[in-house]
Amino acid sequence: MAVWNRDMIYTIPTMLFYRIDSNYKVIEKSGFGDQYGNYIPVMSGSRWNFIEINETGTKLLLVSSKYSDVSAGSLYEFDIPSKTLTLLKDSSHFISSAKYFRGTDSRIIYYKYGWPIGNKAGYYILDKSSGKDTLVLSHIAKNGPSEMLNCFDLHPNNQTLVFAISQTENYDLRAPKLGLYNFGSNKIDTLPVAFDFYAAKIGLWLRFNSTGSKILYCSFPSGIYTDETFDDSQVGIIEFPSLNRKVLNVNTNSPWTSVQLAPRWGAGDSTIIYDSGKLFNEGVVGKRHIYILKNIK
């Protein structure tokens, strides 16, 4: 998984940074971590399964997962200039993903599965200045951590949450739905967008563009974090609020297929960065590569 800010790209689970030029060519590559240049360690059996970056490119949010195949664990903040790692929430919360608010680093919204699973699950706002947590939306993912990643994003107005609603329970696999929630409304709107479900695409990744007029999505299959998956991902753009949709060609293994995860907007909302690997012998943990798709219209 990778994040991109200006000319810097940071990746996990191997903690690397890449500096790129205006033509997207790598001009510097190195590990990132503590003040000694060491990779930041995680507990034995755990791994970094989620990463996010702030608007200024100075801080990272990282989830140290209790599992190799699911993002659920401790939430950390890494300050890039000082190379300081700070624990924000311990593993008892089973946090899956997190985002900085637009325009500030002091407020973070995160999703936690809770422990036992489902206990106080939902979306919370953490005020770093006071250390106070506020429940925004109580929401239990039907598939629990088995959905591999509970993804959401904030509209640039900081008042609207778009999130994946898992419909899978146990072995009853179903396509996810797209949820929308305005803070304080106490109402979840399920948007009428049908995602491709061929070969069990049970996961959904979502990212607003800089204006909130488009949602970048990735409908991804079961097993994308594990040893092998049996289907590719679908990556596309949903116009908001019209919900018109365009599927993007992100296949990196033509004439065969590849599997993708975690696309993010790049420069000027005309590029995206994403993970991709060959469907069977590369589209597994640790074997995806980072790609940039340019000139998106």
Q: In angstroms, what CA-CA distances link 96 with 76, 197, 229, 231, 235?
A: 12, 23, 21, 23, 21
Cβ(52)–Cβ(61) below 8 Å: yes
Task: Give the residue, 130 or 42, on which the prediction is more confident.
Answer: 130
pLDDT in tens, 258-268: 888 899 999 78
Mean pLDDT of the chain: 87
Q: Is residue 285 predicted with pLDDT exceeding 70?
A: no
Based on its alpha-carbon atoms, the radius of gyration of the chain, rounded to whole angstroms, reads 18
Of 18-27, 131-140, 142-151, the one with minimum mean pLDDT is 142-151
Strands 84-89 and 107-112: unpaired
Give the per-residue pLDDT at 152: 95
Q: Is residue 110 predicted with pLDDT exceeding 70?
A: yes
The mean pLDDT value for 94-100 works out to 96
pLDDT band at 23 (very low <50, low <70, confident <90, very high): very high
pLDDT band at 41 (very low <50, low <70, confident <90, very high): low
The mean pLDDT value for 111-125 works out to 92
The arrangement of strands across the sheet holding 2-5 comes to: 2-5, 8-11, 16-20, 26-31
Give the per-residue pLDDT at 281: 62
Per DSSP, 209 falls in state -
Q: How far apart are the first and last CA of the chain?
A: 24
Give the per-residue pLDDT at 200: 75
Cβ(15)–Cβ(85) below 8 Å: no
Q: Is residue 119 predicted with pLDDT exceeding 80?
A: yes
Give the per-residue pLDDT at 2: 94
Of 11-20, 36-45, 158-167, 237-246, the one with minimum mean pLDDT is 36-45
Per DSSP, 195 falls in state P
pLDDT in tens, 206-234: 999 999 999 999 998 876 766 566 678 89
pLDDT band at 162 (very low <50, low <70, confident <90, very high): very high
The mean pLDDT value for 65-84 works out to 88
What percentage of the chain exceeds 70 in pLDDT? 90
Whole-prediction pTM value?
A: 0.92
Give the per-residue pLDDT at 253: 87
Give the per-residue pLDDT at 61: 97
Give the per-residue pLDDT at 67: 80
Q: Is residue 191 predicted with pLDDT exceeding 70?
A: yes
Q: Is residue 10 predicted with pLDDT exceeding 90?
A: yes
